[in-house]
């Protein structure tokens, strides 16, 4: 067994959640701790081979268990906006120094490194040189560097205050004997985890430790973990961002379950769709709103089909049987809008391939091969950017990511168990309920009742349970969601009758695990429901 203990020297853990800048991360994510070890590895100019081998061994040990206080025993410091002076690298000699530092880091040979180091020293001396009679421009730059003259940007510093200022990462089946000394050296050099104010002491623990969180597909807590090749991915990413540009920690999501909640029954009902997603983040091009959901979904499906071709694609991936559309659950192409937050605007942050819960391993591997082939053949640059376009869709640049910092692209946000769901995109009803806009003889009321019944049947097909109440509306019910009239007719094909679409507020008697996709357009992003809690 390998156990690494982390002590919070100040009793506080300052680390911002990767998908919500106003919340602190808890429990601490294993991927963040692994990155701290990698930073310790590169503290020395000459990387220790034994330490590098130890990290490569550790990344192959799978997701660790955690010994950590549950959130019920952790305090959260109130988050307030703080306006901080910007460290503008365009002022003074900062930009020249950073460029010279990058040249030193990129140098391939000892001679090149020596020349780049000499240039760096010269640039530093020039930046620190004092002019006897500075020019008006130099005086203006110097004045702009003063804190009271700098532009201020809003920052938040969320902090967790656990009852027990110690936690641990546990690998029960790992035997660290051959790497123990190297791991001890690395842990001894880790001084912080998260923000620079979150000082820690790390050490290998000898005693038996009972975990409080364990990896589990039935868990409700999603943490970022690492896998084989993580060290190489971090080093490759550093060569691009140089600790200066914006970056997202490479990682994969893993569900965890609290051990003390094992006896507590989980959600008894779950969607036929899983939280196993292939996520594509919008990185450029057009900025479509949620009303363009079906256009984006069709463009994504068309791109994958063109790469592989319809031939030999199983029903679970193509959605087609010999006689027409398949009856079994298959992969859904789901654009993901920014909704449900105070300042949500309904823009599509990206899209996802949402896999059915019972997808076979063979079909899953085939899907990943198709995605990899698409990336290899159609990527527009070395970052793996891909282009989606269609008849009614301007070019949209996307990139596949394992974990996104965008809240809308977090599978756990859409998949968590809840007794209440509200539509982010309208449901295309399986049958025509009648005229929902008529004011004559109670026609609209009768149509609304029929729409509620149709949605109840859709819930039963997807989650195996009927709701206790359904409220329907043509207007959006979530911040950022769009009115039904803003969406193009579905399915929008010649000779096909357009479906009636409605927004809905759905309540169940028991908790249901999402993601919940309902109605006739559920495989193309319509009927996407957000789990919400009653306040």
pLDDT at 148: 63
Q: Mean pLDDT throughout 42-54?
A: 89
Q: What is the rounded average pLDDT for all residues in the chain?
A: 85
pLDDT at 151: 62
Helix (H, G, I), strand (E, B) or coil at 302: helix
163 falls in which pLDDT band (50, 70, 90)?
Answer: confident
Q: Mean pLDDT throughout 35-47?
A: 89
95 falls in which pLDDT band (50, 70, 90)?
Answer: low
265 falls in which pLDDT band (50, 70, 90)?
Answer: very low
103 falls in which pLDDT band (50, 70, 90)?
Answer: confident
Tokens of 214: 């364990």
Q: Tell whether pTM > 0.85.
A: no
Say which residues have a Cβ less than 8 Å from residue 212's Cβ, sequence separation at least 6.
Answer: 66, 67, 68, 69, 70, 258, 259, 260
The residue ranges of every structural domain in the chain are 2-78+157-261, 85-155, 269-404, 411-532
Q: Do domains 2-78+157-261 and 411-532 have the same CATH topology?
A: no
What's the gap between Cα 64 and its chain centre?
A: 20
As a CATH number, domain 411-532 is 2.60.40
DSSP bridge pairs for 169: 4, 66
**Secondary structure in 3-state letters for 243-288:** CCCCCCCCCEEEEEEEHHHCCCCCCCEECCEEEEEEEEEEEEECCC
Please write the tens of the pLDDT for every residue from 17-28. 877 777 788 899
Higher pLDDT, 477 or 129: 477
Please write the tens of the pLDDT for every residue from 317-329. 878 777 777 788 9
**What are the two backbone dihedrals, phi and then psi, of residue 39, each rounded to the nearest 5 degrees?**
-60, -40
- 129 pLDDT more than 70: no
- 120 pLDDT more than 50: yes
Give me the architecture of the 2-78+157-261 domain, per CATH. 2-Layer Sandwich (3.30)
Least confident of 132-141, 232-241, 275-284, 313-322: 132-141
pLDDT at 37: 94
Cα separation, 317 vs 309, whole angstroms? 12
Say which residues have a Cβ less than 8 Å from residue 122's Cβ, sequence separation at least 6.
Answer: none
pLDDT at 263: 43
244 falls in which pLDDT band (50, 70, 90)?
Answer: low
pLDDT at 81: 61
CA distances (Å), origin 399, targets 300, 385, 427, 473: 12, 5, 28, 35
* Contact (Cβ atoms closer than 8 angstroms) between residue 252 and residue 62: no
User: Which percentage of the chain shows pLDDT scores above 90?
Assistant: 43
pLDDT at 147: 64
- 90 pLDDT more than 60: no
pLDDT at 262: 44
Please write the tens of the pLDDT for every residue from 175-209. 999 999 999 999 999 999 988 888 999 999 876 78
pLDDT at 343: 86
């Amino acid at each position: 067994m390998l156990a690494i203990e982390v002590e919070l020297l100040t009793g506080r853990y300052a680390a911002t959640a990767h998908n919500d800048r106003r919340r602190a991360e808890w429990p601490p994510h294993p991927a963040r701790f692994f990155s701290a070890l990698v930073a310790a590895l590169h503290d020395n100019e000459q990387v220790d081979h034994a330490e590098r081998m130890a990290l490569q061994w550790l990344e192959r040990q799978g997701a660790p268990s955690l010994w950590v206080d549950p959130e019920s025993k952790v305090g959260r410091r109130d988050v307030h906006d703080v306006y901080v002076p910007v460290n503008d690298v365009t002022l003074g000699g900062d930009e020249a120094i950073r460029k010279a530092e990058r040249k030193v880091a990129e140098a391939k040979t000892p001679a090149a490194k020596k020349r780049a180091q000499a240039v760096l020293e010269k640039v530093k001396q020039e930046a620190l040189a004092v002019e006897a009679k500075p020019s008006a421009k130099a005086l203006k730059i110097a004045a702009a560097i003063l804190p009271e003259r700098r532009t201020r940007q809003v920052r938040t510093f969320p902090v967790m205050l656990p009852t027990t200022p110690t936690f641990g990462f546990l690998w029960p089946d790992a035997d660290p004997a051959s790497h123990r000394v190297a791991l001890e050296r690395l842990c001894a050099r880790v001084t912080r985890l998260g923000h620079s104010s979150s000082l820690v002491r790390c050490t290998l623990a000898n005693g038996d430790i009972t975990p409080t969180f364990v990896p589990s597909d039935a868990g409700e807590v999603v943490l970022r973990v690492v896998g084989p090749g993580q060290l190489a991915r971090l080093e490759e990413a550093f060569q691009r961002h140089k600790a200066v540009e914006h970056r997202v920690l490479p990682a994969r999501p893993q569900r965890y379950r609290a051990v003390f909640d094992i006896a507590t029954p989980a959600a008894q009902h779950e969607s036929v769709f899983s939280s196993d997603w292939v996520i594509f983040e919008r990185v450029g091009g057009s900025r479509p709103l949620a009303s363009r959901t079906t256009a984006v979904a069709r463009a994504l499906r068309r791109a994958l089909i063109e790469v592989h071709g319809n031939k030999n694609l199983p029903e679970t991936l193509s959605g087609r049987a010999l006689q027409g559309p398949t009856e079994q659950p298959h992969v859904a192409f789901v654009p993901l809008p920014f909704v449900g937050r105070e300042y949500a605007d309904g823009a599509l942050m990206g899209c996802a391939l949402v896999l059915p819960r019972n997808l076979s391993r063979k079909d899953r591997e085939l899907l990943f091969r198709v995605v990899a082939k698409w990336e290899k053949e159609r990527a527009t640059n070395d970052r793996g950017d891909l282009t989606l376009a269609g008849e009614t869709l301007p070019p949209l640049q996307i990139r596949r990511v394992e974990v996104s910092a965008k809240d809308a692209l977090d599978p756990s946000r859409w998949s968590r168990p809840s007794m209440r769901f509200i539509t982010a995109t309208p449901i295309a009803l399986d049958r025509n309920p009648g005229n929902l806009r008529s004011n004559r003889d109670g026609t609209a009321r009768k149509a609304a009742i029929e729409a509620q019944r149709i949605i109840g049947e859709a819930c039963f097909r997807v989650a195996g349970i009927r709701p206790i109440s359904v409220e329907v509306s043509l207007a959006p019910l979530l911040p950022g969601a769009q009115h039904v009239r803003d969406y193009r007719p579905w399915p929008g094909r010649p000779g096909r009758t357009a479906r009636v679409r409605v927004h809905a507020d759905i309540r169940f008697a028991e908790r249901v695990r999402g993601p919940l996709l309902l109605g006739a357009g559920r495989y193309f992003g319509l009927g996407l429901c957000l789990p919400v809690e009653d306040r």
